[in-house]
Amino acid sequence: MTGTEILALTMLGGFMAMILIGIPVGISLAVSGLVFGYIGFGPGLLGLLPSRIYGVVTNYTLLAIPLFVFMGVMLEKSRIADELLETLGHAMGGLRGGMGIAIVLVGVLMGAATGIVGATVVTVGLLTLPVLMRRGYGRGVACGTICASGTLGQILPPSLVLILLADILGESVGSLFAAALIPGLTLALVYVVYLVLLGLLRPDTVPPIPAAERDALPALELWKRIGRSVAPALLLVFAVLGSIIGGVAAPTEAASMGAAGSLVIAALSGRLDRGVLGETLKGTVSISAMVFFILICAQPFALAFRGLGGEHLVQGLFAWVPGGLNAELLFMMLLLFVLGFFLEWIEISYIALPLFLPLFQNADVDMIWLGILVAMNLQASFLTPPFGWALFFLKGVAPPEISTRDIYAGVLPFIGLQLVALGLLFLFPGLATWLPTAIGWN
């Protein structure tokens, strides 16, 4: 091992140490990259940085991020999601596990309309967790269902994860959106099957809504609510995703259409006012600034690590893995899964993933399929203790009687279900590649 490679490992250790003592991720990335890059190269590293940062902030595809964030935050702040959840809850409430299934369906719709985990988990947690407790749901089942459903937005388009992965992989956003649709819906179906089985095997943990409460809402009124809350959200999702996947509009153009559509839906529902608009703009700026700040701070780290020979270290590590290409893919999936316990998806995407990609690109692995495998793996990072963000979001809005242990124990079965879905995608690549090929994207 050369001196520069030792320096690369030391830089990686320094980054992890700063994370563990509580220094913000972006600052940890920038400081470790600049310090060790300067030690290894001197001031030459600084000359390369401006062009890398300029490439990030002028990337036309990444302009879709704040627009999609605006669309999601508007649907959250205008409380359209509240009515959507209440309507689907009553529609499914007669089944054992029906409320849980309704939460999964809301996770699908909100994920496809927002792609923001925090917004979905907080909204669903505030509205349903006290109600589920009152109706006799098991604490773990309720917490796990809310957290898992809230993370569906990270695999279902228009996910921010997919937009950034498209940039990293050098693939079109439309092809990744198309590829993610069937795997994302498959994962939601796995959740639904689990809740149905739970209703059969352990009905005491997922009881139905009492008949008297269901009868209090007439069928006609329920259908009116569906038309008022579910239909607009579906139309918005189909318009945005359909225009991208169908090749009618570029992702940025479709994102602007989605942002405008969320304004129209909020206005027609009578919930658009100056306060809602102000909160939406504030939330959009905050989330978008966080994403771009980390992307910019990742540039010195990536430059320094590669320049110090980090890629050769990674290639040497994979050379020790027996079993050929499939074993190397599984090894990478395992590494990303373990990193998800400690790091956020943005750092994993922009720091770890580029180190592994050249190996699989040289082996002619389908980058679309690999991208969806990675996206589903990264989605698990929102659920895995101790640093899963969905767990933190739910704990912040949970009633006092819900402990951290309840939340951690509740998500474990759903982490297992995610691994099952990931295994299905690994064994059947057509789940990801069929739709892009069918419509001519791949």
Give the pLDDT confidence of 64-75 residue by residue, as tens digits.
778 878 887 787
- 7-16, 186-195, 230-239, 394-403, range with greatest mean pLDDT: 186-195
CA nearest to 405, candidates 144, 148, 226? 144
Comparing CA positions, the residue from 29, 5, 3 lying closest to residue 16 is 29
Q: What is the mean pLDDT of residues 407-421?
A: 90
Q: Which stretch of DSSP H or E encloses residue 154?
A: none
| For the chain, percent of residues with pLDDT exceeding 90 | 10
Task: Report whether pLDDT(54) > 60.
Answer: yes
Q: What is the pLDDT of residue 205?
A: 83
Lookup: tokens for 171: 């693939």
pLDDT digits 0-9 by tens, 88-129:
766 776 678 788 888 888 888 777 766 666 666 776 777 677
The answer to whether the beta carbons of residues 70 and 262 sit under 8 Å apart is yes
Is-contact 107 120, C-beta < 8 A? yes
Structure confidence by residue, pLDDT tens digits, 221-270: 667 777 776 777 778 877 877 777 777 777 788 888 888 888 888 888 77
The per-residue pLDDT for 126 is 72
By percentage, how much of the chain surpasses pLDDT 70? 86
pLDDT at 231: 77
CA angle 164, 429, 383 (to 5 degrees): 50
DSSP, residue by residue, 72-110: HHHHHHTTHHHHHHHHHHHHHTTSTTHHHHHHHHHHHHH
